[in-house]
Amino acid sequence: MIVVASLNDATLTDYRIGFPFAGEWQEVFNSAAYDEDVVGNMGRVVAGGDGMHGFAASAAIVIPANSVVVFAR
């Protein structure tokens, strides 16, 4: 699992982070899903390409303002 938390007052789009494995990751939790203006990753992201943060792969994700998003393989 990958857990991303943000205390930023703005939504971050195309924010690239490292993932331990390439392939599809499901967005299993998005705390912003209960807001009027839902912002997220449409239920999934695909990791691949160059690794980051000591992981083998990476993906560009959307991090809603003041939220927690969780990805699972």
Per the structure, the count of domains in the chain is 1
pTM, whole model, 2 decimals?
Answer: 0.91
Q: What is the CATH number of the domain that holds 7?
A: 2.60.40.1180
pLDDT at residue 37 tops 80:
no
d(CA 50, CA 56): 7
Q: Which domain holds residue 43?
A: 2-72
* pLDDT over 80 (residue 35): no
Report the pLDDT value the prediction gives residue 34, as an integer from 0 to 100: 81
C-alpha distances out from residue 49 to 2, 21, 22, 57, Å:
17, 10, 8, 6
Calpha distance 21→32 (Å, rounded)? 25
